[in-house]
Chains A and B, each alone.
Chain A
Amino acid sequence: MNIKNINIVKLTFYLIVLFAVILCIYLYKFIISYLIVSFLLAYLISPLVHYFERYHIKRTLSILFIYVIIAVILTFFILGLIPQIVDQIIDFTNLLTEMIQKEEPINLQSIGLGKLDTFFEKIKAALPFIKFDQYNELLSQRIGAFIGQLPQIVIKSISGIFAGLSFLIIVPVIGFFLLRDEDTFRKNFFRIIPNRYFEFTLHLFQKIEESFGRFFRALLIETLIVTILSVVGLLALDIKYALILGIIIGLSNPIKYFGPIIGIIPALIVVLASPKPNIYVIYVLIVHLIIQQIDSIILFPSIMGKEIKMHPLLVLLTVIAGGYAFGILGMFFTVPAVYLIKTIMVVSYNSLRQFEII
């Protein structure tokens, strides 16, 4: 009887705890995105803070110092580059919509490949049973509808990032405390881990940091360098919208196998649509090829170290799924995200096995 009573008390207590946790999640759900971004910020900055700590510089001081440097870079970026990028995006989308809204939408003549057009005419004449015109119309309608939405998508995502001024204030504040009290947070976290799982958790964290952390930081550096190289290369060729096209190439670069191919397409379209001679397509491709070689021969082995093991088919499917689920931005970010989740699963499984938990 007594035992039963205790169980009821225990059960009620657990239910109350569960209820409290659910309430907390409900209350804090609006700032979960803030927390995630703050974590990422803290995670990226933490090696720098550790570096300063070597010279017995107080954490508070070094965090503020890093914040000031980031603020200066961001200000330069916002004042100098953002207006240009926005201008280029608006120009770029205008160009595309103009192309669509012409009398004959998506004409090969209009992008300077007239000879191909006569080639297609010949095919049409040879195969009268296939209704090319119908397909063409359908296709251009679809593309037209998509491109018509493009400005909205771009503006939405930009305003999504920059709209909340609160975001820009709250994230650094949370990040500051996460960084300053990093050790206390970690220690408190390990205090509540039962003895059975203490070594396991330490091991897991260590392994995740080894694979995930290094990968994450390396990915950022690699993307940044490829973006800069691409922008410089396109500027050297005097291509219009070099900035935005370079950023697209850089962002798509982390997608294995297909990223470089996807990334270069907008640049090629712009070259074809611009009054530049079509031979520039070849020049752009050569520059792209050189940057890709630099990336895969010099950057990737020295920064990333380990090869990412992911089957090309899985990469392709992930890109498509990401596109369906989260739109264009999803196409860029799902492959690294899936890779990270996969690594964490593998690492957790190995640790669990080593500590005989499963």
Chain B
Amino acid sequence: MKFLSIKKPIEQEDKEMIKFLSKFELFTNLSSTELHHLAKCIHKREFSQGEIIFKNGYPNIVFYIIKSGEVKIYIEKENGEEIELNILGEYDFFGEFGLFLDTSRTASCMAVKETAMYAISKTEFKSFINKFPRGGNKILFSLGKILSQHIIHLNEKLKHSRLTNEYKEH
């Protein structure tokens, strides 16, 4: 019966959301109208501590931005052992691959603390880009930038580990 609990009125929640999104790295360049329309297709979700957000193998259709709190990305081994991959906090986002690929989730995710997140579904995101190509362009560009940075970072790591391996062999 959680839905009967008193929540903030939706208008106030939307204002908060727009304020947050305007500071978020993907959406900094958006105009206020674009932000307003984007906020219409973003859902606010609240998770309590230890609540599972999704599991490895579920369809990857939602992209999350953490507003507050912390989540743990992990994979479960067959013997039930958990391997922690990453801890994400405020202003981090995850599930962005789902926007581009029709794959299922490659890891599981759990809230470590009380966590509030903004969820964008793949279809709603795509229809926003179709409707507002200008805004969509800005978002995709920022996303491309961030992903490229990730790849450069990983390449550096790889290079580093290769070099150290060579050094060890000699």
Pick out which of these stretches binds chain A: B18-26, B45-53, B76-84, B144-152. B45-53
> Does residue A131 face the partner (Cβ distance < 8 Å to B)?
no
Closest Cβ–Cβ distance, residue B127 to chain A (whole Å): 7
Whether A355 contacts B33 in the complex (CB less than 8 A), given A54-B132, A187-B43, comes out as: no
Q: Is the CB of B43 within 8 A of A195?
A: no
Select A206's contact among B2, B46, B58, B121, beta carbons within 8 Å.
Answer: B121
Q: 8 Å CB contacts to A: which residues of B31-50?
A: 33, 37, 40-41, 43-47
Q: Is the CB of A199 within 8 A of B127?
A: no
List chain A residues, Cβ under 8 A from B51. Answer: 195
Q: Is the CB of A187 within 8 A of B40?
A: yes
Closest Cβ–Cβ distance, residue B18 to chain A (whole Å): 14
Whether A188 contacts B10 in the complex (CB less than 8 A), given A50-B127, A195-B51, comes out as: yes
List chain B residues, Cβ under 8 A from A356. Answer: 55, 57-58
Q: Is the CB of A190 within 8 A of B59?
A: no
Whether A183 contacts B45 in the complex (CB less than 8 A), given A54-B130, A202-B62, comes out as: no
Closest Cβ–Cβ distance, residue B111 to chain A (whole Å): 9
Q: Mark A35-76, 1 if CB is under 8 A from B, else 0.
A: 000000000000000100110100000000000000000000
Q: Is the CB of B119 within 8 A of A198?
A: yes
Taken together as a complex, chains A and B put the C-alpha atoms of A198 and B54 apart, in Å, by 10
Q: Mark A125-145, 1 if CB is under 8 A from B, else 0.
A: 000000000000000000000
> Does residue B131 face the partner (Cβ distance < 8 Å to A)?
yes
Closest Cβ–Cβ distance, residue B116 to chain A (whole Å): 12
Q: Is the CB of A202 within 8 A of B121?
A: yes
> Does residue A159 face the partner (Cβ distance < 8 Å to B)?
no
B123, closest chain A residue (CB): A206
List chain B residues, Cβ under 8 A from A190. Answer: 43
Q: How large is the interface on B (under 10, 10 to 19, 20 to 34, 35 or more residues)?
A: 20 to 34
Closest Cβ–Cβ distance, residue B32 to chain A (whole Å): 13
Taken together as a complex, chains A and B put the C-alpha atoms of A187 and B40 apart, in Å, by 8
Select A53's contact among B53, B61, B131, beta carbons within 8 Å.
Answer: B131
> Does residue B7 face the partner (Cβ distance < 8 Å to A)?
yes
Whether A354 contacts B59 in the complex (CB less than 8 A), given A54-B132, A191-B3, comes out as: yes
Q: Mark A195-217, 1 if CB is under 8 A from B, else 0.
A: 10011001100100100000000
Whether A202 contacts B61 in the complex (CB less than 8 A), given A187-B43, A195-B51, comes out as: yes
A182, closest chain B residue (CB): B40
> Does residue A194 face the partner (Cβ distance < 8 Å to B)?
yes
Interface centre among A199, A202, A209 (most CB of B within 10 A): A199
Whether A354 contacts B131 in the complex (CB less than 8 A), given A195-B45, A195-B47, comes out as: no
Taken together as a complex, chains A and B put the C-alpha atoms of A194 and B61 apart, in Å, by 17
Q: How many residues of A contact B (CB 8 A)?
A: 23
Q: Is the CB of A203 within 8 A of B10?
A: no
Select B41's contact among A183, A192, A354, beta carbons within 8 Å.
Answer: A183
Interface centre among B7, B10, B131 (most CB of A within 10 A): B131
Select B40's contact among A54, A183, A202, A209, beta carbons within 8 Å.
Answer: A183
List chain B residues, Cβ under 8 A from A194. Answer: 2
B131, closest chain A residue (CB): A54
Closest Cβ–Cβ distance, residue B22 to chain A (whole Å): 19
Taken together as a complex, chains A and B put the C-alpha atoms of A183 and B37 apart, in Å, by 10
Q: Is the CB of A195 within 8 A of B53?
A: yes
Taken together as a complex, chains A and B put the C-alpha atoms of A354 and B104 apart, in Å, by 9
List chain A residues, Cβ under 8 A from B104. Answer: 354
List chain A residues, Cβ under 8 A from B1. Answer: 14
List chain B residues, Cβ under 8 A from A56. Answer: 33
> Does residue A184 face the partner (Cβ distance < 8 Å to B)?
yes
Interface centre among B53, B62, B121, B130 (most CB of A within 10 A): B121
Taken together as a complex, chains A and B put the C-alpha atoms of A190 and B45 apart, in Å, by 9
A55, closest chain B residue (CB): B131
Q: Residues on B close to A: CB < 8 A?
A: 1-3, 7, 10, 33, 37, 40-41, 43-47, 51, 53-55, 57-59, 61-62, 104, 119, 121-123, 127, 130-132
Given pairs A53-B37, A54-B131, A198-B43, 12 additional interface contacts (CB within 8 A): A14-B1, A56-B33, A188-B10, A194-B2, A195-B47, A198-B45, A202-B61, A206-B121, A206-B122, A206-B123, A354-B58, A354-B104
